[in-house]
Amino acid sequence: AQSVTQLGSHVSVSEGALVLLRCNYSSSVPPYLFWYVQYPNQGLQLLLKYTSAATLVKGINGFEAEFKKSETSFHLTKPSAHMSDAAEYFCAVRRTGANNLFFGTGTRLTVIP
């Protein structure tokens, strides 16, 4: 079954530093991959998604992710962290043959002033 693994349940970066949140998927075929963000006391919202049109996907708020089939990865990056990026980030995959998303365990991002 398809699944995603998020390395690091907590990541801290300084304001202005690079943000890198890791996501690896397990699948024999390239799946549909998503990054969602959850701000404090809010529901999840879509950050970006991979749909096979391009391996480098740009999302909202300056985030982007690169699909690397050879590494089965879909890491999320942002060149310069902002205080408002503090949130929990979830990688998700569409299961083959299923109609729902399967979420990773989440990575909480803290931005240090």
Partner 1 sequence: DADVTQTPRNRITKTGKRIMLECSQTKGHDRMYWYRQDPGLGLRLIYYSFDVKDINKGEISDGYSVSRQAQAKFSLSLESAIPNQTALYFCATSDTGFKQETQYFGPGTRLLVL
Q: Between 22 and 49, name the residue whose CB sits nearer to partner 1.
A: 49
Closest CA to 44 of 5, 87, 80, 12: 87
Q: What is the 3-state secondary structure (H, E, C) of 25-88?
A: EECCCCCCEEEEEECCCCCEEEEEEECCCCCEEECHHHCEEEEECCCCEEEEEECCCCHHHCEE
- Decide whether 1 or 18 has the Cβ nearer to partner 1: 1
Q: How far is the CB of 51 from partner 1 (least distance, A)?
A: 4
Q: In angstroms, give the least distance from the CB of 110 to partner 1.
A: 16
Q: Which is nearer to partner 1, 99 or 113 (CB)?
A: 99
Instruction: Find the shortest distance in angstroms from Cβ 17 to partner 1.
Output: 25
47 vs 30: CA distance, rounded Å: 19
Instruction: Judge whether 81 and 100 are in contact, CB under 8 Å.
Output: no
Nearer to partner 1, 4 or 111 (CB): 4
Q: How far is the CB of 113 from partner 1 (least distance, A)?
A: 25
**Contact positions vs partner 1 (CB under 8 A):** 9, 32, 34, 36, 41-46, 49, 51, 90, 94, 99-106
